[in-house]
Amino acid sequence: MPNDNSRISIILVEPIYAGNVGAVARIMNNFCFNDLRIVGAVPEKNDFYLAMHSEHILEDAKLFPDLASAIADLDRVIAFSRRLGKNKPIDLSPPEMAEYVHDLPNLKIGLVFGRETFGLTDEEADLCPLRCHFSANPAFPSINLAQAAALAIYEVDSYTHRRQSTETKHDAVDGRELDRIFNYMMEVLGNIGYFTRYETTNWDVFLRKMLAQLNPNKEMVYRLRQMFNRIHVLVTGKGKGYD
């Protein structure tokens, strides 16, 4: 019986070739994914012949002017990248990515794929707290857009068949609550003067990544709020509300 993958969005950032988009639509249909989002315009190069019997996914695809708006309603976002390096750490292998998605069955998750030419910009990558990487030939690591999406989709869909008894994190807070505690923590750090000196660490990116990996429940969020409020009191002499 097919899995319910309707809560998972496949997001293509400014794809160039319509053939790739058609192939992505087809593999989505194969595994019961239906939410295709495209940043930019639908490409005109080539035709959509690879979307055979999956035209409805293309017709229903949602268009967005930028990645920020494409992921605004999602609870968690994972970007796929071929780039490796000190400033571009990989958080999840494909099996770990599938497990992460499987562990959050009540949340909306976006899988983001960059341009065929140069992937995601640094600004776009920073919008995605988690990064997944397919191990490939180091001399030729770039995987075709449609093939990368196919690998990710299959990995997610097949995970439940590999581990039927996995414990899931049904109580993880949604994206809105994750944003609230993130903003609260950043505001407290700002108020106590934490950012007055030059920092080599990008705390914005670090905290977003930490929270996305932690997947806190409501009690964890409450404890984080309690801890940061106490820090605020100790440094400033007054508490900070949680609006």
For residue range 201-231, what is the model confidence (pLDDT) as tens digits? 889 999 999 999 999 999 999 999 999 999 9
Q: What percentage of residues in the chain have a pLDDT greater than 70?
A: 88
Looking at the predicted structure, is the pLDDT value of residue 124 above 60?
yes
* The model's pTM: 0.88
Specify burial of residue 228 (Cβ count, 10 A radius: 0-12, 13-18, 19+): buried
CA 158, CA 25: separation in Å to the nearest integer?
18
Angle at 216 between CA 215 and CA 218, to 5 degrees: 140
All structural domains of the chain, each given as residue ranges with its CATH number in brackets, are: 8-162 (3.40.1280.10), 175-236 (no CATH)
CA 229, CA 233: separation in Å to the nearest integer?
6
Looking at the predicted structure, is the pLDDT value of residue 10 above 60?
yes
